[in-house]
Amino acid sequence: MPAYNHLFFDLDHTLWDFEANSAHTLMQVYEECQLASHGITDYDAFATTYHAHNEVLWARFRNGFIKRDELRWKRFWLTLIDFKIGDTHLAHEMSSAYLEILPTQRRLIPHAEELLAYCKQQGYTMHLITNGFESTQRQKLQVSGIAPYFTELITSERSNSVKPQAAIFQYALQATGATAEESIMIGDALEIDILGAFYAGWHQAYYNPARTPHRHKPTYEVASLEELMKIF
Ligand SMILES: [Mg+2]
């Protein structure tokens, strides 16, 4: 087993429970912006529609086709359009509310804090590599209480690149003084975290809680963060 010195974690869906936090936030946006009074009476249908648009726009953002601001408000605008509400102002209002509320949420993935405390005790240096936005990610780290575990926060904004591009992994090595051989990427997104790290020549630990089948061979694969404590 290689001796890792630097553990690079993804944040959303890997440590910070994006699913739970986003669901809670979306519910608050729905209420704060009084969407029921605008005719959207089925909350679940609203959430499903939002998630579909959000996923497509994130893929477009990762591929460089749209900018951050466009992603942020268009996911709500397209959702409203599906409910026959052509209200640009409301879309911007929802976007602001969502961005304000989301990073104040603090739910973590099971065993995340335990894993970080264990790794710190083992003497690893830990960092984050995230495609999320810098100020948002910093706030999530602060409110969830895990900020002190990390040395460097590598974001797309800072590195001018996005996972899975090799450039963000190379930037991470430069920023931390680590080498690829002593580094491992831990993340939940096969195409983004795991294949990105693989093509950059890093080891990878794939957190796959749903045990989604695939044809790749990450260095490690776990269904629970607890299992990583046996590896590190
Ligand atoms: Mg993730």
Interval 24-57: pLDDT, tens: 999 999 999 999 999 999 999 999 999 999 999 9
Query: 91: CA distance to ligand 1 center in Å?
Result: 25
Q: Which residue has the tokens 């679940």?
A: 44
Query: May I ask the CATH architecture of the domain 6-17+108-230?
Result: 3-Layer(aba) Sandwich (3.40)
Residue pLDDT, tens place only, 174-194: 999 999 999 999 999 999 999
Domain 19-104: CATH superfamily is: Putative phosphatase; domain 2 (1.10.150.240)
Residue 145 CA, ligand 1 centroid: distance in Å: 18
The CA 42 to ligand 1 mean position distance, Å, reads 28
CA–centroid distance, residue 82 to ligand 1 (Å) = 27
DSSP at 10: -
Neighbours of 39 (CB within 10 A): 10
Q: What is the pLDDT of residue 158?
A: 93
Q: Where are the alpha helices (DSSP H) in the chain?
A: 18-32, 43-62, 68-82, 88-101, 112-121, 134-144, 156-159, 166-176, 195-199, 228-231
What's the pTM?
A: 0.86
Question: Which tokens belong to 48?
Answer: 């499903």
6-17+108-230 and 19-104 agree in CATH topology = no
What value does the mean pLDDT take over residues 118-132?
96
DSSP one-letter code for 12: B
**Distance between the two ends of the chain, CA-based, in angstroms?**
10
Q: How far is the CA of 144 from the centre of ligand 1 (A)?
A: 16
Q: How many angstroms separate the CA atoms of 168 and 146, rounded?
A: 22
Q: What is the average pLDDT score of the chain? A: 96
Average pLDDT over residues 120-139: 94
Cα 202 to averaged position of ligand 1 atoms, centre (Å): 17
Rounded Cα–Cα distance for residues 187 and 11 (Å) = 8
39 alpha carbon – ligand 1 mean position (Å)? 33
| Structure confidence by residue, pLDDT tens digits, 79-116 | 999 999 999 999 999 999 999 999 999 999 999 999 99
- What separation in Å is there between the alpha carbon of 206 and the centre of ligand 1? 10
φ, ψ (nearest 5 deg) of residue 211: 50, 45
**Averaged over 210-223, what is the pLDDT?**
98
41 CA to centre of ligand 1 in angstroms: 31
Q: What are phi and psi of 204, to 5 degrees?
A: -140, 140
| Sequence ranges of the domains in the chain | 6-17+108-230, 19-104
Residue 156 Cα to ligand 1 midpoint, Å, equals 13
For residues 19 and 13, give the distance between their C-alpha atoms in angstroms, rounded to a whole number.
7
**pLDDT band at 1; cut points 50, 70, 90:** low
Per-residue pLDDT of 135-184, as tens digits, reads: 989 999 999 999 999 999 999 999 999 999 999 999 999 999 999 999 99
pLDDT of amino acid 62: 85
